[in-house]
């Protein structure tokens, strides 16, 4: 699959403005929405913020209001904080190591500097999950100042009926509700962080895994009462209308295909920036259609917007990577690097 070129034709833009196209799996390529700023020249500029040791899989990340980056590892049950403004080798600080798990997956901010993290067991040698091993934890970093003041960490609930709890998004901050993608079962859970109650709220055919290893619905994001999600096996970006309680208000639809997405992030206009399993960061406009490849990266796993003033000026995205998934399956890490956190600058005007 060759990436589409960033070409805009005045007549095409005029026709789109007068008569918007319906959402199709693969309509004409539209690199960005009419109201979006221009992307920086492709490929986008990248800067390695932190390089983890060999055989370290950085799985997901969240950016604190002070710009610090919380990163989950799938290769170990560890959460790190990374300072994107420091070049020191000790810029990554261990926040917490979680018990009874082999790794961490999704992370979401529930309240300012209060995060929720998924821990569980997933083999990186076989890509086989251990069902019922997953749990949701609360990590409060409001007073975190190592080594004197550790983060406050507590388990919220086990997910005994889960297959592979993976991507996660905040549904309702006041009610304390999270949505969690179960990749192997192809469903979405709703978790109440106050009571610990977990309930299946979405079970849609477009979320189901289609091959082995079974990794269907993966990344989750919410925009204007629409739940956006990737299906890694099906290589699709999709969306489904939802009610305030997370239950579906209609059927899911594919908005972009041939995009083997892991996690992703939306900007303030609903455009998607997708970490892809085929070693690239892709862009899908809000109206859907073919993607634009923004830059090649080795094993991107998740994307988040920076939150500092300079990040907003640059349109900075932070991407976690695994260094290349094939090395974990083969056990041969010769010639590859460990996972990393990488900054990608989309250009002025881009952001959440």
pLDDT at site 227: 98
What is the CA angle 329-332-335, rounded to 5? 125
| Alpha-carbon gap, residue 225 to 59, rounded angstroms | 26
Nearest residue to 30 (alpha-carbon basis) of 295, 41, 39: 39
Q: What is the pLDDT of residue 35?
A: 46
Nearest-angstrom CA–CA distance, 220 and 74? 18
246 in Cβ contact with 177 (< 8 Å): yes
pLDDT, position 137: 98
Q: Within the chain, where are the H helices?
A: 10-18, 309-314, 325-330
CB atoms within 10 A of CB 224: 9
pLDDT of residue 38: 67
Asked whether 220 and 176 are in contact (CB, 8 A), the reply is: no
- φ, ψ of residue 284 to 5 degrees: the values are -125, 125
What is the spatial distance between Cα 236 and Cα 90, in angstroms, rounded to a whole number? 38
Q: Walk along the chain (352 residues) and give the pLDDT tens digit of each residue.
A: 444 333 333 322 223 232 332 332 222 222 333 345 667 899 999 999 999 999 999 999 999 999 999 999 999 999 999 999 987 767 899 999 999 999 999 999 999 999 999 999 999 999 999 999 999 999 999 999 999 999 999 999 999 999 999 999 999 999 999 999 999 999 999 999 999 999 999 999 999 999 999 999 999 999 999 999 999 999 999 999 999 999 999 999 999 999 999 999 999 999 999 999 999 999 999 999 999 999 999 999 999 999 999 999 999 999 999 999 999 999 999 889 999 999 999 998 888 7
Question: What pLDDT digit, counting tens, does each position of 73-103 carry?
Answer: 999 999 999 999 987 767 899 999 999 999 9
């Amino acid at each position: 699959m060759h990436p589409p070129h960033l070409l805009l034709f005045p007549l095409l833009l005029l026709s789109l403005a007068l008569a918007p196209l319906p959402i199709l799996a693969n309509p004409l390529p539209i690199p960005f929405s009419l109201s979006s700023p221009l992307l920086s020249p492709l490929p986008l500029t990248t800067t390695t913020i932190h390089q983890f040791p060999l055989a370290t899989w950085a799985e997901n990340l969240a950016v604190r209001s002070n710009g610090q980056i919380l990163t989950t590892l799938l290769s170990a049950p560890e959460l790190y904080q990374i300072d994107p403004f420091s070049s020191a080798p000790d810029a990554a600080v261990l926040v917490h190591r979680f018990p009874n798990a082999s790794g961490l997956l999704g992370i979401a901010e529930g309240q300012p500097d209060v995060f929720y993290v998924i821990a569980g067991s997933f083999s990186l040698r076989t890509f086989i999950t251990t069902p019922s091993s997953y749990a949701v934890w609360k990590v409060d970093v409001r007073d975190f100042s190592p080594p004197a003041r550790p983060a406050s960490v507590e388990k919220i609930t086990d997910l005994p009926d889960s297959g592979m709890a993976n991507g996660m998004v905040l549904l309702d901050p006041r009610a304390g509700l999270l949505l969690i993608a179960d990749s192997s079962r192809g469903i979405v859970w709703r978790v109440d962080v106050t009571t610990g109650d977990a309930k299946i709220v979405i079970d849609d055919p477009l979320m189901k895994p289609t091959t082995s290893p079974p990794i269907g619905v993966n990344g989750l994001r919410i925009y204007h009462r629409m739940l956006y999600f990737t299906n890694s096996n099906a290589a699709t970006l999709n969306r489904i209308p939802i009610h305030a309680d997370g239950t579906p208000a209609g059927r899911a639809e594919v908005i972009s295909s041939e995009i083997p997405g892991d996690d992703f992030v939306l900007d303030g206009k609903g455009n998607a920036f997708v970490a892809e399993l085929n070693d690239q960061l892709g862009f899908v406009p809000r109206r859907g259609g073919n993607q634009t490849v923004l830059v090649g990266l080795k094993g991107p796993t998740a994307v988040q917007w920076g939150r500092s003033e300079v990040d907003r000026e640059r349109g900075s995205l932070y991407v976690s990577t695994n260094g290349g998934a094939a090395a974990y399956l083969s056990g041969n890490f010769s010639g590859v690097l460990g996972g990393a956190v990488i900054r990608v600058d989309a250009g002025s005007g881009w952001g959440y």
